[in-house]
Structure 1
Amino acid sequence: MIMVTGATGTVGREVVRLLAAKGVETAAVTRDPAAGALAGGGRPVVGDPSSPQSLAPALDGVQALLLSPRAVGGASAELLALAARYGVRRVVVLSAVTVEYGGGYRRFAEEFERVEDAARASGLPWTFLRCADFDANSLAWAPQIRATGLARGVYADAATSPIHQRDIAEIAVRALLDPAHGGRAYAITGPESLTQRDRARLIGEAIGREVAFEEIPPEALRRAMLAQGLPQDVPDRLIGYAAACLAEPGPTTDTVEQLLGRPALTFATWAAEHAAAFRS
């Protein structure tokens, strides 16, 4: 059995779906019983991964753990120690490409480094998936695009190689099922470097409507995001990384193609799949 933390999140939901398609029993961890039932076929495990003891009854028989730091919060070391006591054989950690390549505020990379260090210290065989920013982050523009045809944000020329969640999930499934990936840290990105303007244009092509990118000052974006009730770290992560990638584009790797034997999925593919979210 595989335990997936963050099972209703962008990557976790895909992982659960792919494992179910392979007939692999999955414990899909969720704080919300109703949401867990929608997690793609896995068995919902109601618990709070940031309070690992709430998951203890479900760890019996688990062979591998997908650890989402966003879901687990500061309890990664405790959860990993508990998993080791219950005989879990390996852990796959969703980490960030900034651990390897830098960029953005240093404190955010350090958060992922602490989780990686906890995995190493746990004694469990580990695999780190150091991900670029997600294609799905662009869904934050959907209300603006539907209403105005504009995507608003900071640093229009900041360039990264965003990655499709399905690519991350396919690699995660391989690492969860195959111990040969133990002790490996993979930097995984999309196949091409895109500016913010490029992404807005590609969304426009997907919906058959011109979408322009409107650059706004960082503080204006911060105020808007906080007014929506988002935690303060969210605009800080976005603004800090965008500023870094304006000075130097984020990395582009061929890791997806090396591991999956096919090219990484493009942002245009993601935009076409999610076009309905951007149409008015």
Structure 2
Amino acid sequence: MSILVTGATGFVGRNVVRQLVERGEGVRALTRNPGTASLPAEVEVVRGDLAEPASLASALKGVERMYLFPVDEAAEEVVALAKAAGVRRIVDLSAASVTVGLHVNPVEAVVEAAGLEWTHVRPCGFMANMLQIWAPMVREAREVRYPFADEPMNLIHEADIAAVAVAALLEDGHDGAAYTLTGPAPVTVREQVAAIGAALGEPVRYTEVTREEARSILKAQGGFAAESADLMLGFVDYGGAAASGADGYADQDWSALLKPWPDGERVLGRPARSYAEWARDHVADFR
């Protein structure tokens, strides 16, 4: 069986690839830059871009199952091409915000309408979302400067998201399911920084700053931090429009996502990994 993994070098996609290889599956990985993919040697790495569906023709040949990274406006064409090529099962990466009515993901409707086997994987916030923002701070000064000190959030390890996706790709019984995935318990920014320090075995100081101060810090940091600052800090919403309220999210009720949801444990037969485990898994990034 040949499985196509799109978004193969992302936080989740890279874990999907690795876990499929560990289970002895044939994996084809789609990426825009094969030369820098750094994927396992067993993987067939192919060039392609979901935003340019015509580039997927060779990648889809012989593929039976596909892990679909969010594809937005090109979804209909991508899914149609996959179906025409013989793909019969699609597992798509969505978001927990869809479950609680804060977001609509049109890709889900496209996948459902295709007449194939499908599973939606809907994770809450990634533990890894802050990696590219906080890791440079920790490496440079053993300090994190960020707002929202004691606001709880439910976050999930990217390897757990991948594990559910892999189960849906390989096992029967997941057709037509939408799995909402969370971590085992809410965790605050202050607690996250403490867990990073514990993983390093060194003190990491946390300094709470305002959203405006944090925006200046991230813009100066450049790269991903600068590009994502307005969204991560709540100055704009997921559609790019200006967000309302003092904290940027006053018009959205995220409380339903603070509780642990049971879907992941039902699929995997074990609890979700904790933030402390995630920090240990990424200690090299912070060191």
Q: Above 0.5 in TM-score?
A: yes
Q: State the one-letter code of the partner of 2:283.
A: A
Deviation at 1:82, TM superposition (A): 0.9
With over 3 angstroms needed to count, the CA separation of the structure-2 counterparts of 1:52 and 1:251, relative to structure 1, is farther
Distance in 1 (alpha carbons) for counterparts of 2:140 and 2:11: 24
What stretches of structure 1 of length at least 5 have no aligned partner? none
SS of residue paired to 1:194: coil
Query: 2-side partners of 1:76 and 1:154: how far apart?
Result: 36
Q: Show the 5 A alignment for 1:65-104.
A: 65-69=66-70, 72-101=71-100
Q: Distance in 1 between matches of 2:266 and 2:24?
A: 25
- 1:156–1:41 Cα change, 3 Å: farther
CA 1:218–1:188 in 2, change beyond 3 Å: closer, same or farther? same
Q: CA deviation at 1:30?
A: 0.8
Contact 1:3 1:29 in 2 (8 A): yes
| One-letter identity of the residue aligned with 1:132 | C
Aligned counterpart, 1:239: 233
Q: Is the 8 A contact 2:185 2:259 kept in 1?
A: no
Q: Identity of counterpart residues, as a percentage?
A: 41
Determine if contact 1:160/1:251 at 8 Å carries over to the other structure: no
Q: 1:166 corresponds to which residue? A: 159
Query: 1:121 Cα shift?
Result: 2.3
Counterpart residue identity of residue 89, structure 1: R
Structure 1 residue 207, shift from structure 2 partner: 1.0
Q: Which ranges of structure 2 fall in alignment gaps of 5 or more residues?
A: 238-246
Question: What does residue range 1-280 of structure 1 map to in structure 2 within 5 Å?
Answer: 1-36=2-37, 38-39=39-40, 41-69=42-70, 72-101=71-100, 109-110=103-104, 113-139=105-131, 140-227=133-220, 228-230=222-224, 234-240=228-234, 244=249, 248=255, 250-279=258-287
CA contact (8 A) 2:72 2:106 kept: no
TM-score by length of 2: 0.85
- Per-residue deviation at 1:233? 7.1
CA contact (8 A) 2:72 2:107 kept: no
Q: CA deviation at 1:223?
A: 3.9
Q: Give, as a single letter, the amino acid of the residue that structure 1 aligns with 2:119.
A: T
Query: What TM-score, normalized by structure 1, do the two folds share?
Result: 0.87
Instruction: Give deviations 1:67-123, integer Å, cap 9, x for gaps.
Output: 111xx3531221011111112111111111111125xxx6xx33xx11112212222
Residue 7 of structure 1 aligns to a residue in which SS? coil
C-alpha distance 276-36 of structure 1, shift in aligned 2 (>3 A): closer
How many residue pairs match? The answer is 270
Q: CA deviation at 1:258?
A: 1.3
Please state which structure has a larger fraction of its residues in helix: 1
Distance in 2 (CA, whole Å) between partners of 1:148 and 1:58 is 44
The runs of at least 4 aligned residues of structure 1 exceeding 6 Å deviation read none
User: SS in structure 2 opposite 1:155?
Assistant: coil
Structure 1 residue 184 displacement after superposition: 0.5
SS in structure 2 opposite 1:159? coil
CA distance in 1, matches of 2:202, 2:143: 10
Q: Secondary structure at the match of 1:160?
A: coil
> 2: distance between equivalents of 1:34 and 1:44?
9
